[in-house]
């Protein structure tokens, strides 16, 4: 009885086909088939890479198209009139004022009762209120430990200004932290600026010429115009002493520079 494989072999032999023996491996024929498929895949990848490279070249050579987005200015501060932090004890009453620019009151600590014209607001910590121009505004501190306030006044224009009028905003803790950090930076900058002016005045009062002082939290530099004989060690020591007394910096943090006439 012939098996199915034997029948197939005999049929192909009749046709003159080269059929391997049933016990032998077909690896040689399979190997040629795999090599053929691999070569076709490589050629396909090469063609795809060529197309991709051509597309990239076209994109790189094409002019860049920029889209413009208009920005509408909602508010613009044109002038600043005041900016200060102040502490008031419990019971302090500000009698009131009005002026032709905006004023903002921010409660950093404590409790305040404020009014704008005939409106009255209770302002706990984290509250901020804007008084519009010509609005009569006053306040009284009613917290047992007083109140720390940040007050600034400014002139502004734009459609957003009307949104600020007659409103009290309660800031979140994260928003309060942002304002507190910004205020601390502003106060530090203001203090350094005042120290710079003080040093410049004291140095010129000692009989030296023009003086420019630069101070930061860690160092100070003073540029002093040269005298007829130049700055000697005594002059440098006098100027450095002025800087150290004003800033509290150590001698190694103070630099004196002599400017040539």
Helix, strand, coil shares of the chain as percentages rounded to 5? Answer: 40, 30, 30
pLDDT exceeds cutoff 50 at 3:
no
pLDDT exceeds cutoff 90 at 49:
no
Eight-state DSSP code of residue 146: -
* Position 139 confidence tier, pLDDT thresholds 50, 70, 90: very high
pLDDT exceeds cutoff 80 at 67:
yes
pTM of the complete model beyond 0.85: no
Walk me through the domains of the chain, giving residue ranges and CATH numbers. 76-171 (2.60.120.10), 192-259 (3.30.300.30)
Say which range, 30-34, 88-92, 131-135, 213-217, has the weakest mean pLDDT: 30-34
pLDDT exceeds cutoff 60 at 175:
yes
What end-to-end distance do the CA atoms of the chain give, in Å?
122
Pairwise CA distance, residues 147 & 116, whole Å: 19
More confident residue, 190 or 40: 190
Reduced to 3 states (helix: H, G, I; strand: E, B; else coil), residue 136 is coil
Q: What is the pLDDT of residues 195-209, one digit of tens each?
A: 999 999 999 888 887
């Amino acid at each position: 009885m012939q098996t199915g494989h034997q029948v197939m072999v005999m049929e192909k032999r009749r046709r003159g086909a080269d059929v391997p023996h049933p016990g032998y491996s077909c690896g040689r024929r399979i190997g040629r088939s795999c090599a053929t498929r691999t070569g076709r895949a490589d050629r396909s990848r090469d063609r795809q890479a060529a197309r991709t490279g051509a597309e990239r070249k076209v994109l790189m050579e094409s002019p860049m198209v920029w889209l413009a987005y208009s920005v509408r200015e909602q508010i613009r501060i044109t002038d600043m009139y005041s900016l200060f932090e102040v502490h008031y004890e419990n019971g302090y009453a500000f009698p009131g004022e009005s002026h032709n620019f905006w004023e903002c009151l921010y409660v950093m600590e404590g409790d305040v009762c404020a009014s704008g014209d005939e409106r009255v607001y209770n302002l706990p910590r984290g509250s901020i209120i804007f008084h519009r121009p010509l609005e009569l505004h006053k306040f009284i501190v009613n917290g047992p430990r007083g109140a720390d306030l940040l007050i600034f006044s400014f002139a502004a224009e734009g459609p957003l200004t009307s949104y600020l009028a007659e409103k009290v905003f309660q800031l979140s803790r994260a928003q309060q932290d942002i304002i507190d950090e910004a205020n601390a930076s502003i106060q530090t900058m203001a203090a350094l600026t005042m120290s710079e002016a003080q040093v410049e005045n004291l140095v010129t009062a000692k009989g030296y010429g023009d003086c420019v002082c630069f101070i930061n939290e860690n160092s100070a530099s003073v540029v002093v115009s040269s005298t007829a004989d130049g700055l000697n060690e005594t002059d440098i020591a006098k100027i450095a002493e002025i800087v150290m007394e004003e800033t509290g910096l150590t001698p190694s943090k103070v630099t004196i520079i002599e400017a040539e006439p």
